[in-house]
Amino acid sequence: MNALLESLEPKTLWSYFLELSKIPRGSKSEAAAAAWVADQARNLGCEVDRDEVGNVIIRKKATPGREDRPTTCLQAHVDMVCEKNEGTDHDFTADPIQVWKDGDVLRAKGTTLGADNGIGVAAAMAVLADRNIAHGPIEALITIDEETGLTGANGLQAGRLKAKFLINLDSEEEGFLTIGCAGGVDTIATRKLTRTAPPAGSRAYRLKVFGLKGGHSGIDINAGRGNALRLLAQVLCFLKPEFGLALASINGGNKRNAIPREASAMIFLDPAREQALRQTLAAHEAHWRTALGAFDPGLHLALETGEATQAMSSTDADALLQLLMALPHGVEAMSPDIKDLVQTSTNLGVIETREDAVEVNLLTRSSIEASKVALTERIAAICALAGFESHTSGGYPGWKPEPEASLVRILNDVNQAVFGKPLEIMAIHAGLECGIIGEKYPGMEMVSIGPNMWDVHTPDEHVSVSSVGNFWKLLVAVLEAV
């Protein structure tokens, strides 16, 4: 047993999590991790099935004498968001996550930790391995590609699951019971580029924005954090005419569901004006640090030598910058029914410049379908005005809260018995797979629980060890009560 595992409880859960952390499992590249889950379940004597899209469906028989209890499905996703700090030497396709303990929390060295949703997968596996829990029939649904398209949930076929109850293990706040979530849809905007020679005598430089917190585009969208793409566009809109810049490319953000922490532009500049530009950048950095304040104090703007041979036309550059300035980012509306719940938002998430085209990706979320559609249509209109073509993809439904469901009552009663207080009932602005699964299984009662974790989808992601222990106690007690 390694030294880290010796300091963690419950050991079975953490053992599965640490083993899973050794397997690369970025979204759409999680096949090896899903196969590992299936192998572990087979080794435990469980019935294992793989569906057409790669989800793992596992069944464990009831404890003797409990065969007549309703079947409960434990649901988690095996993929993770792959984000790392600039300068971190980590290959998400090959390297294990470097997990370390910092007091009561686990972190990763310069990368996302994968507690979202590795803790959920590990908890489900620990239940399957535990011979001391008295429970009814159990199913475990471990889905693939939740983070970049909800592919696993979308591909799940009706009739595969037999459960009456589903406990989603993908929440991130102890003491809360999630019973609803927002739906979402992606917008992809593209424009073909005309390339030109850079101005005579100019030199290529890389202008970058970094040091921002980023965060989950649902959970953290109302936290006042900076968006590196928007900040870069605002700085460039001032610098381009002032310094006669030519723009070669803009790239930034890694996932459409993560608030961009870093972005950079390749520009051409008269080297005689380099020092003046550096001074102006320092002033802009001070200005935006003041504007962001304590919400996001780590902002940096930097200029370094770059490499580029061609610029995009001035018309294309202006259209791109104006689009980035005009597109919505952040909270569009708060819920009138649930205190402090974001109802509708958009995350301006990713921009990629290729040789012949530039592409911008956004994720719009709303718990109201009509609001989601209306904001998406407005985004399409802004794109058209800027000369960009756009289309939507990956739409998924919200999950309607059912506060009077029997599973909600069971969770509340168990939490009262174990911890001496009821759970806080809530809906979240983030997307969960429950909405999609609920459409395929309309009679299934669903809830979502999880331990305290913070800054998911960023290299600052960390999870509370003691909270995972409480999460495990609740889960075990619920399975014994169902």
Read off the pLDDT of residues 28-80 as tens digits, 9 standing for 90 and up: 999 999 999 999 999 999 999 999 999 999 999 999 999 999 999 999 999 99
Q: How far apart are CA 397 and CA 184, in angstroms?
A: 7
- HSE-CB at 270 with a 13 A cutoff on CA atoms is 10
394-408 pLDDT, tens digit each: 888 889 888 899 999
- As a whole number of angstroms, the distance between CA 128 and CA 146 comes to 22
Residue 79 among the catalytic residues = yes
Cα–Cα distance between 99 and 333 in angstroms, integer?
A: 38
Identify residue 381 by its one-letter amino acid code: A
Question: Token digits for 135?
Answer: 């429970």
Classify residue 94 by burial, with Cβ atoms within 10 Å: 0-12, 13-18, 19+: exposed
The active-site residue out of 30, 116, 139, 146 is 146
Question: Is residue 104 annotated as a catalytic residue, yes or no?
Answer: no
Distance CA 57, CA 55 (A): 6
Residue 1 has pLDDT above 80, yes or no: no
Burial of 327 (0-12, 13-18, 19+ CB in 10 A): buried
Q: Rounded to an integer, what distance in angstroms lies between the CA atom of residue 116 and that of residue 113? A: 8
Closest C-alpha to 40, from 99, 115, 127: 127
Q: In angstroms, rounded to a whole number, what is the distance separating the alpha carbons of residues 353 and 39?
A: 41
- List phi, psi (to 5°) of 73: -105, 130
| Per-residue pLDDT at 396 | 87
pTM: 0.78
Q: Over the stretch 463-478, which tens digit does the pLDDT of each residue have? A: 999 999 999 999 999 9
Q: What is the mean pLDDT of the chain?
A: 96
Q: Check pLDDT > 90 for residue 337.
A: no
pLDDT of residue 146: 94
The catalytic position among 30, 79, 145, 174 is 79
d(C-alpha 82, C-alpha 96), whole Å = 12
Domain architecture of the chain: domains with CATH: 3-182+398-481 (3.40.630.10), 185-396 (3.30.70.360)
- Encode pLDDT of 191-222 as tens digits: 999 999 999 999 999 999 999 999 999 989 99
